[in-house]
Structure 1
């Protein structure tokens, strides 16, 4: 199936250990993050492309093989947002791309990984990228609008089919906020999702996000979408109470929080993902 004209093959850009802060710090700055992403994506048949939106170019890795079936879209976490508690990163591209690893573990016919604005994309293509978009404004209206435009283009690859959204960490907030604006979302899953940023900021004793939309405030708008929110009791970044607060705000008819034994915030999810995918979100 040929890509839409606005999908473009991306040219690779070559480009501490740090505290996990709101899912934004992980891995080592010396890692070649592009090469690591290719190593994750290639065995799963996920091909790198760019999607043009306003105001960002977004990087994707996609396997679209059957336009008669729904598309599952994975939205990445916040990536390498901070170098320290006070110094933003120069490049938010995730060191280990947990969202991409989840996408690569999905055997579905139509799987798309969607990086967040300014991740994996050369700054020359994205003059709008400033640290605000991976710190305080990571869930800003223009970010969610950009993700929505990307989802429109992805949905056009399978006309008339529904989207299944999966968000990892901060990508969970983005998935909720994007789903709240759409009518074509069949299900919503989050993995260690930051579904209540204000409460997460309070727990970590850091300043609340300034300029971002609040996924908890969108709970009512997604209340009729079947959803599962996976969390871990050993996650020190996003504890299970965050998913439970979101489900309480959404109502239990279609949303469920599921505590999975074993994983931390950024370890152990990929190995369990195929099994977790076997549980379908349903409305009761």
Structure 2
């Protein structure tokens, strides 16, 4: 038997570049939300948001909890096993219960914990060995995919907080990550509803925030989704109804998919209310 020491694994520079790009956008999206909540007094943290039953503290608490869960998934072992057990035992209420628990923290303590957690997660994602996948509540993910999922959640919940205060956030190109995830999770949107995943391909061609084309799927697909890329991200995170976005389905398969599209893991939750029906910060999921 050879006693030679195997060569050290050489890091994949393309993998690192993709991960660093996503992490940079995640940091920018987090900092944007941080700038909104950092100046709030205690009463501001109790402001209702479009998510039923969630105030600003719940929104930040959920982001912090998911960072903690992601760290536990990277580390593996008993901590993540306990999270999985909790989710299995209470599939419809686990996320809300954890948000309630952390939202009870003093606002500045919650803010500090969220800041620390997201920095720790970025470092942990960078340290995952090349080729290693991270266990999750759904399929295992690469570090870049997990970072993209964290960006998507931060992007979506930032919109909830901004809407609660009547703030119009910039239509930045970071929405492309969210739109891409919405496309990639087409099959999951069917599975989570107990429906058969169709074999018919769908092409997505959207106008990006800088006027460029965001496109995924076979170019020759008969079923297509077209329209505004930022609006598609809002639709895929279930922050808007189809009537409130500039997104169009062409073909029966595309039409069916847009009715259930969701970029996030877990149950779909309640449908968002139309913009015209929203009053007092209540409405969207």
Say yes or no: TM over 0.5.
no
Structure with greater strand share of residues: 1
Structure with greater helix share of residues: 2
TM-score by length of 2: 0.31
TM-score by length of 1: 0.31
Task: Kindly name which structure, 1 or 2, has the bigger radius of gyration based on alpha carbons.
Answer: 2
